[in-house]
Every structure is written in structure tokens, then in C-alpha cells.
Amino acid sequence: MDERKLLLVTHVVDAYISTAHPVGSQVLASRYRLSWSSATIRNVLSHLEEEGYMFQPYTSAGRVPTHLGYRLYLEHVHVARLNPALERSLSSMAEQMASFDELRELCRILSRLTQEVVFTVTRLGSFTTGTRFITRKPEAEDPAFMRDITNAIDALEDICAALETEIGSITQCIGDGQTFGGACSVLLVRVPFQRSTVMIGILGPLRMNYHKNIALLQSLIPKP
């Protein structure tokens, strides 16, 4: 993919995550101070739509990223820099947690920071927090999203068991209909816990703050 197309995919995803509205050429030109003409931007957006990276929800609307667009975005996303004090605090909590209560408290903190559902799956069962945030999102009006996220929450243990061997440092499931559903995104990390490891995940819509959420999960990974 050429640099211009990649830049527009990145900008469309960024803008859509921020606004939850389809992104048009005028928004792109003004928000990112692009020097290209509106006609040039529309032409490139049209090609990207043909290639499957975005779509128009209705005629004359702006564009919305597809699964393919989000995945390309994540290949090139720059992870946010957390406040150093916050990063040290989360890292220390992850390193020192020894009980299930401490693990649940870490999940609650992550949920408040991300405004997303956060879950953990251990050999003794699962714990989920932050479901109250679901109804505050524009996606709550989308039946497909509500179906997928509620099904995913109900089946967390089975889904994570199926992914057991695939979870590395941070694993991304973006609109994967075989796992958490086509309308959801999940970021998963494995961290040390009680002489073994435990999975912690952030579950939300495709339109989540990947910059921040990946940085938060990275802070839980032990430093070499």
C-alpha cells in the first residue's frame, strides 16, 4: 500500500474512534491539515473503499473503517505514552498481586481507565467488570454489537480456552466472528499470577482507543 493510502486509513480510523461519525474528505482535510484537494482525498477514499478498508453507511456519507481497515491501522499504530506514575503503579500492582481479590481490583482499575469491559480468566473461573460502560456507547444502539458483546461475556471461559495457546504478549482479536464476534474488538495479555499466568482482556466495540488500551496492557508485562 502506498504512503498516501496508508495515511488516509490511519486518519479515518483515528477520526472515527474519536467522533463515532462517518469521516468525510472535508473533515480529513481540516482535522489533519492535509494539503491535498478534496477531490484527491475523495478519489483515494474511493479506492480504499473498493479495496475493502472502509465503507459508506449510506449515499453521500463519509467513510467508516472495516475490520480490514482496523487491522491495517493496528499494524502501524503508535502506542500512547502513559503518565509515568500511572505506568509504575500498574506495573507494581501486576508484579505484586498474589490473590484473586487483587487480580479483580486490577481489572476494575483497568476498566475505569479504559471505559470498557475488562475480564480475567483463571483456572478457577472468570471475572468481568465494566459492563455498565456498554450502554454509554453509541454502539449500544447497534443490535449486532449488543448481541456479540453479551454472547462474548457469557462464553468468556470457552473462548479463552480455545485461544489458550495463541495468547502472547498482547493478542488482538478485531471483529473476529469465530471468537468474540464481528462487532467487537478484544485486546488480550497474559501476565504472571500465582506461579503461573493469567489472561486479562479489554473487550469493547471495534471503535476503541487502541493507543491507550495497548499501552495500559503493556504496563502489566514484566520488564526483562
| Burial class for 148, CB neighbours closer than 10 Å (0-12, 13-18, 19+) | buried
Quote the CA–CA distance of 14 and 163 in Å, as a whole number: 28
Query: Of 212, 54, 64, whose CA–CA distance to 138 is shortest?
Result: 64
pLDDT of residue 13 exceeding 80: yes
Q: For 18-75, what is each residue's pLDDT tens digit?
A: 999 999 998 999 899 988 888 899 999 999 999 999 999 887 789 999 999 999 999 9
CATH 3.30.450.40 fits domain 84-218: yes
Quote the CA–CA distance of 155 and 86 in Å, as a whole number: 31
Cβ count within 10 A of residue 138: 12
Instruction: Give pLDDT, residue 76.
Output: 87
Domain ranges within the chain, ordered by starting residue: 3-76, 84-218
CATH class held by domain 3-76: mainly alpha
Q: For 174-183, what is each residue's pLDDT tens digit?
A: 988 778 999 9
The number of C-alpha atoms within 13 Å of 151 and in the hemisphere containing its C-beta is: 14
Average pLDDT over the chain, rounded to whole? 92
Query: Of 216, 221, 196, whose CA–CA distance to 122 is shortest?
Result: 196
Instruction: Give pLDDT, residue 80.
Output: 84
Instruction: Give pLDDT, residue 79.
Output: 80
Instruction: Give pLDDT, residue 124.
Output: 83
pLDDT-derived band at 102, boundaries 50, 70, 90? very high
Q: Which amino acid is at 49?
A: E
First-to-last C-alpha distance (Å) of the chain = 35
